[in-house]
Amino acid sequence: MDFHDDGKASLDHIYTAPDPRAYFTTLRKLDYAIPQLAKPHFGRLIDDRVAAARPGDPVTVIDIGCSYGINAVLLRCDATMDELYERYGGVDAAGQTRDTLLARDRELVRQRTRRPGVRFVGLDVSEPALAYAREATFVDDTVAADLERGELTAGQRAQLAGAALVISTGCVGYVTERTIGQVVEAAGHPWMAHFVLRMYSFEPVARCLAGAGYSTVLVNRMFKQRLFTSPEEQAQVLDTLAGIGVDPHGLEADGWLYAQLFISRPAIP
C-alpha cells in the first residue's frame, strides 16, 4: 500500500471510481465512522441556519471534499452509514449497474428528503465522485476544483455565493487555508464546521479565518475516524504525532485515527 508523506495510507483510488461501491467496500472494513458521528453536529448547525434565514429562502451547505455526497445523503435523507454500507457493499450490490444504483438512489431522495429547503453543494477534486453525487441527487450542485493549486472561476464563485454553512469530514490536512480562504470569500462568510484528524494542525486555517473576522471554538470531544489500515500505517502516524507533540495514549495508540471538531463563526451574522 502507498502512503502519504505524513504516514497516512493513500486510499485515493476509492474516490475516483464511477460509483461508490469501492468506497464503501473499502471503508466498511476500517469501521469508517466520522460522517455518522458528524451528522448530529452538522444537523444542529443546519437547523440554526434555517431558523435564521428569511422564510422561503434556501439554505446552502457547502461540503468540501464531499466525494460521493455522503454527508449530504446522511443529512438530507436521515440515512446512516450502516445503511449505506449495506446499500453499496451488500450481497446484491455487485450485480447492480451504475444506472440501477443511480435510479435506486434518486428514489431514496424522493422518498426520504427531510430538509427540503436546504441545498447541498459538493466541492471536490474528483469529477467521477461529483458526477455520481449530482446524478443521484444527493447534492444539488457540484464544483470540481483543486483550490490548493488553482483559483475559483467566476462561475464557481457564483455557485458558492451566499452559502450559510461549510462542512468537512477529513479533508483538512490535504486542504489548507488556501482552499478555505477562497471558499470564505466566495460564499460570503458562512459558518464553518471542520472535522480534522489530530495529526494535522488546524491553526493555519484558524489564523486565516481570524483574519476574515471569525472566531473558532474546539469542541471538547474526540471522534473516531477509522481503524488503521495496517500496523505500518499506525507506526507512521504515531511518529507524525510525536513530531508535533500530540499524545496518542488511549487514542491513536489503541488502533484508531481520531479527529477533532472546529466550529468557526464570523462576527457578522
Residue ranges per domain, the chain? 12-266
Residue entry with cell 455487485: 94
Most confident of 52-56, 87-91, 190-194: 190-194
196-229, pLDDT tens digit by residue? Answer: 999 999 999 999 999 999 999 999 999 999 999 9
Q: If you write DSSP's letter for every residue of 40-59 in order, what string do you get?
A: HHHHHHHHHHHHHSPTT--E
Q: What does the block give as the cell for 210? A: 481570524
Architecture in CATH for domain 12-266: 3-Layer(aba) Sandwich (3.40)
- Using CA atoms, how far apart are residues 110 and 103, in angstroms rounded to an integer? 11
What's the N-to-C CA distance of the chain in angstroms? Answer: 46
Q: Are 65 and 217 in contact (CB under 8 A)?
A: no
Per-residue pLDDT of 110-168, as tens digits, reads 999 998 899 999 999 999 999 999 999 999 999 999 999 999 999 999 999 999 999 99
